[in-house]
């Protein structure tokens, strides 16, 4: 399967799926007018990839901000990963947050409690 | 000298200017809230962290503003066709007040009776909850909501209350045809956390 690459816009994050290295990554901000439409597109690609690949997958969330409708879409996406994990696929989620960003940290904690997946919370120092 | 008495009925432009000054309003928008407009207003409210104390604080203001503006965009009963995108968008008002120890974001738009009932129930429920309960309620609602039928996820008010860490102040003013003007006031204390 081909790599998948979406550049970020004002209101949508960059998304890339590197099928060779087994990395799916989201970075930036997410508050589109229609989050469902955006994330359904991403999820379809992801599901197709999960169907055909048996390799381990690392999912990196490097989001700086997301709105509530995105929050629901991310849960759907994580549930999709969880199902694949239950069927035996090795999946690791890395949730990055700026070390002072309490809200983004808490969002990660809340997802990690709901989703049965290896889930790492990773603090980083924001660029000065 | 011309005083522009008729620019705003019942007041002069100078009165209006001074009123805005006195109310410590640093940003005010009234009109059709398209997604593009929302992004632009959002950029104006991304206050530099040195000005507001911390990056988290600046982000909170932004996040609350986005939820409020998207509520206007999707749910206001007063609609207009946005010339830029030719989509149907909601009309409303949003303003930001900068006070010594807090920011206050206020939004308003037209709603119907059904919306009034749901908003009132939701606001009262939220105001009766602690921060921990709000977090649990948010997760619970997020699991329950089906994507279909709602453009937003119906989580906006919970998120606003969670981030502001203050009770929601709200009002419904009766208007024509069984509609109401909904006002929501959200305080965000300057004191970090």
pLDDT digits (tens, 9 = 90+) for B130-163: 999 999 999 999 998 765 445 554 799 999 999 9
pLDDT (mean) for B97-122: 95
CA A73-A75-A77 angle, 5° bins: 70
What pLDDT does B47 receive? Answer: 74
Residue A52's domain spans which residues?
4-124
Instruction: Work out whether the CA dihedral B75, B79, B169, B162 comes out positive or negative.
Output: positive
B193 pLDDT higher than 50: no
What pLDDT does B3 receive? Answer: 57
Write the residue in A67, A76, A114 that is nearest to B139 by C-beta: A114
A61 pLDDT higher than 90: yes
CATH, domain range B13-111+168-189: 3.30.565
Which residues of chain B have a CB within 8 Å of the CB of A67?
63, 66-67, 70, 159
What pLDDT does B185 receive? Answer: 98
* Closest by CA position to A28, among listed A48, A53, A44, A7: A7
Q: Under an 8 A CB cutoff, do B155 and A110 touch?
A: no
pLDDT digits (tens, 9 = 90+) for B165-180: 999 999 999 999 999 9
Interface contacts A/B by beta carbons within 8 Å: 70
User: The pTM is what?
Assistant: 0.93
What pLDDT does B135 receive? Answer: 96
Q: Under an 8 A CB cutoff, do A110 and B138 touch?
A: yes
A9 pLDDT higher than 80: yes
β-sheet bridge partners, residue B91: B32
Residue A80 CB-density burial (10 A; 0-12 exposed, 13-18 middle, 19+ buried): middle
pLDDT (mean) for B87-114: 95
pLDDT digits (tens, 9 = 90+) for B40-91: 999 998 877 667 667 778 899 999 999 999 999 999 999 999 877 788 999 9
Strands A91-98 and A57-66 turn out to be parallel
* Closest by CA position to A77, among listed B163, A97, A85: A85
What pLDDT does A126 receive? Answer: 77
B11 pLDDT higher than 90: no
What pLDDT does B1 receive? Answer: 46
| Total tally of structural domains belonging to chain A | 1
Contact A38, A73 (CB under 8 A): yes
Which residues of chain B have a CB within 8 Å of the CB of A114?
139, 143
pLDDT (mean) for B87-112: 95
CATH code, domain carrying A14 = 3.30.750
């Amino acid at each position: 399967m081909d790599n998948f690459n979406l550049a970020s816009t004002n209101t949508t994050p960059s998304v890339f799926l590197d099928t060779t290295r087994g990395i799916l990554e989201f970075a930036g901000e997410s508050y589109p007018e229609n989050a469902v439409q955006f994330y359904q597109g991403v999820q379809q690609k992801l599901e197709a990839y999960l169907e055909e690949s048996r390799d381990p997958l690392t999912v990196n969330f490097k989001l700086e901000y997301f709105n509530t409708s995105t929050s629901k879409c991310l849960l759907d996406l994580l549930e999709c990963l969880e199902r694949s994990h239950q069927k035996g696929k090795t999946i690791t989620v890395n949730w990055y947050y700026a070390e002072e960003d309490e809200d983004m940290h808490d969002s990660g904690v809340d997802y990690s409690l709901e989703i049965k997946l290896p889930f790492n919370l990773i603090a980083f120092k924001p660029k000065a | 000298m011309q005083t522009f008495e008729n620019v705003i009925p019942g007041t002069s432009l100078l009165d209006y200017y001074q009123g805005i000054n006195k109310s410590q309003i640093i940003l005010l928008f009234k009109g059709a809230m398209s997604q593009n407009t929302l992004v632009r207003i959002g950029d104006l409210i991304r206050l530099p962290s040195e000005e507001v104390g911390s990056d988290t604080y600046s982000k909170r203001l932004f996040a609350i503003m986005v939820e409020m503006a998207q509520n206007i965009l999707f749910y206001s009963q007063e609609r207009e066709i946005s010339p830029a995108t030719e989509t149907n968008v909601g009309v409303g008002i949003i303003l930001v007040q900068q006070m010594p120890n807090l920011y206050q974001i206020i939004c308003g738009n037209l709603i119907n009776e059904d919306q009034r009932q749901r908003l009132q129930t939701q606001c009262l429920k939220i105001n009766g909850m602690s921060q921990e309960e709000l977090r649990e309620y948010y997760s619970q609602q997020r699991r329950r909501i089906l994507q279909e039928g709602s453009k937003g996820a119906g989580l906006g008010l919970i998120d606003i209350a969670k981030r502001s860490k203050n009770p929601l102040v709200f009002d419904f003013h009766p208007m024509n045809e069984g509609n109401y003007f909904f006002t929501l006031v959200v305080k965000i204390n300057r004191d970090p956390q």
